[in-house]
Amino acid sequence: MSADLEKPVAGGGLLDRRLFLKKGLSFSVAALTVDSASAADWQQARSPWMNEPGEPFSNYGRPSSHERKTIRWVMANSMAPGNGVSWTPLHDLEGMMTPNGLHFERHHNGVPKIDPKQHHLLIHGLVDNALVFSVDALLRYPMTSFLGFIECGGNSNAGWREQPIQTQAGYFHGMASCSEWTGVPLSILLDEAKTKSGAQWVIAEGADASVMNVSIPLDKILDDCLIALYQNGERIRPENGYPLRLIVPGWEGVTHVKWLRRLRLTDKPVMARNETAKYTELLPSGKARQFSFVMEAKSLITNPSFGHQLAQPGLYQISGLAWSGRGKIVKVEVSADGGETWAEAALQEPVLAKCFTRFRIPWRWRGGMAVLKSRATDETGYLQPERETLIEQRGRHGYFHYNAVVSWAVSETGEISHVYR
């Protein structure tokens, strides 16, 4: 059985996903081989940091100074520095969670400096009891956690360009991040406010200088939305909505209103800027698609990806992320021959609904040209489309909701570039 595992399962040298469970696997070039004499030398060698006491304790930890290149890439408007994006460096990360300091940011008018003692949440409109909550009051309500992604509807939109953009995976697809969000289910608060019959929409509004607002169907709010107060165990970072934000699992980023100050229940949507002029899609028919809330299944290989360099031919582990706003990822297939043949990748547990899922598959690179791709299937049976299929469905004037298969070309010398094929 173990010999079988080393036989390719698809073209271009893709191997069985269970190969890495096997013992005695040789990466041939990855480690140095040492004889017993030099092993003794290695054992005796004392690095300078073993000869003196280390640094003292710190109140709040930081990454190693050797990891200073792992940062968010900021893309902001020089005339209005509070409007723009910073991207999560997905190409430098592993696992499924995004560290708080690397969660992507999308602000329309900067990060407000909110004093939590002076911040309140108002719930009003079509309710029997209009309610105002202080942050301290909200902290006393029962909480639950949602582990999942937030993805901007504009993420990956460089994919609509005529020519493939040559940039790191995170600076192309990193308007998506994944955290554990903890807070109060909105169903509890709305139960207390008692919604009136006729209430069908909730208008959520933030306390930033853009006073951003969006309309969300009441059914979704009652189903699984949260007022989040914590992000990966600590209080939410200012840039991600401190002291509280709306979490709308699986729906586009703009619905997750940060610095939330108001929820108004109404019978119809408010037709805000971000649901009319923005976050809508012009279709080939000339009509625009509106309220396209759900983020459809997507995947991409993060390692290797653009900017990485394969050292030499040999065994590699291809690793990437897949997610779907409709539920769990059930399958990720990888191709090393530009989509001629596909092999199933291993999914790292836990596999959760509306959450980043890490996939991995072994690959033996023989040194020639290769095109690496991944495609995800979610639990509704939806298969991530090839770029041509997406363009057939949505036309060439798209800007939001780009989720096509991503292809990385490997050159004979091991450089990786972005291609459409």
Ligand X SMILES: Nc1nc2c(c(=O)[nH]1)N[C@H]1C(S)=C(S)[C@@H](COP(=O)(O)O)O[C@H]1N2
Which residues contact ligand X (rule: CB under 6 A)? 103-108, 150, 152, 206, 208, 210, 212, 240-241, 253-254, 256-259
Shortest gap between Cβ of 401 and ligand X (angstroms)? 12
Nearer to ligand X, 10 or 138 (CB): 138
Beta strands in 295-379 (DSSP E): 298-303, 314-323, 329-335, 343-344, 346-347, 357-365, 370-378
Out of ligand X, Mo ion, none, which partner does residue 149 contact, by CB within 5 to 8 A per kind?
Answer: none
Out of ligand X, Mo ion, none, which partner does residue 296 contact, by CB within 5 to 8 A per kind?
Answer: none
Nearer to ligand X, 150 or 321 (CB): 150
Shortest gap between Cβ of 181 and ligand X (angstroms)? 10
Query: Is residue 243 reached through a cis peptide bond, with omega within 30 degrees of 0 on the bond before it?
Result: yes
Nearer to Mo ion, 152 or 361 (CB): 152
DSSP per-residue codes, 66-113: GGTT--PEEEEETTEEEEEEEE--GGG--SSPPPGGGS-EEESS----
Query: Residues of 100-115 as b/e, b for ≥16 C-beta within 10 angstroms?
Result: bebbbbbbbebbbebe
Distance between the two ends of the chain, CA-based, in angstroms? 35
The counts of H helices and E strands in the chain are: 8, 26
Shortest gap between Cβ of 152 and ligand X (angstroms)? 3
How many C-beta atoms lie closer than 10 Å to residue 236's C-beta? 24
Shortest gap between Cβ of 65 and Mo ion (angstroms)? 32
Nearer to Mo ion, 159 or 253 (CB): 253
Out of Mo ion, ligand X, none, which partner does residue 159 contact, by CB within 5 to 8 A per kind?
Answer: none
Nearer to Mo ion, 10 or 152 (CB): 152
Shortest gap between Cβ of 103 and ligand X (angstroms)? 6
Q: Which two tokens stand for residue 385?
A: 């489309």
Which residue shows structure tokens 């971000």?
A: 274
Query: Is residue 89 reached through a cis peptide bond, with omega within 30 degrees of 0 on the bond before it?
Result: no
Out of ligand X, Mo ion, none, which partner does residue 320 contact, by CB within 5 to 8 A per kind?
Answer: none
DSSP type of residue 171: H
Nearer to ligand X, 179 or 302 (CB): 179
Out of ligand X, Mo ion, none, which partner does residue 105 contact, by CB within 5 to 8 A per kind?
Answer: ligand X
Out of Mo ion, ligand X, none, which partner does residue 240 contact, by CB within 5 to 8 A per kind?
Answer: ligand X
Is residue 359 within 8 A of residue 345, CB to CB? The reply is yes
Shortest gap between Cβ of 400 and Mo ion (angstroms)? 9
Rounded Cα–Cα distance for residues 80 and 75 (Å): 11
Shortest gap between Cβ of 154 and Mo ion (angstroms)? 6
Phi, psi for residue 66 in degrees, rounded to 5? -80, -5
Rounded Cα–Cα distance for residues 238 and 333 (Å): 38
- Select the residue whose beta carbon is closest to ligand X and give its number: 206
* CA angle, 206 then 202 then 239, to 5°: 25
Nearer to ligand X, 76 or 310 (CB): 76
Shortest gap between Cβ of 274 and Mo ion (angstroms)? 8
Q: Which residues bind Mo ion (CB under 5 A)?
A: 106, 152, 253-254
Which CA distances in Å does 180 have to 37, 144, 262, 316?
Answer: 49, 10, 23, 30
Out of ligand X, Mo ion, none, which partner does residue 306 contact, by CB within 5 to 8 A per kind?
Answer: none
Shortest gap between Cβ of 231 and ligand X (angstroms)? 9
Nearer to Mo ion, 254 or 318 (CB): 254
Out of ligand X, Mo ion, none, which partner does residue 96 contact, by CB within 5 to 8 A per kind?
Answer: none
Out of ligand X, Mo ion, none, which partner does residue 308 contact, by CB within 5 to 8 A per kind?
Answer: none
Nearer to ligand X, 154 or 164 (CB): 154
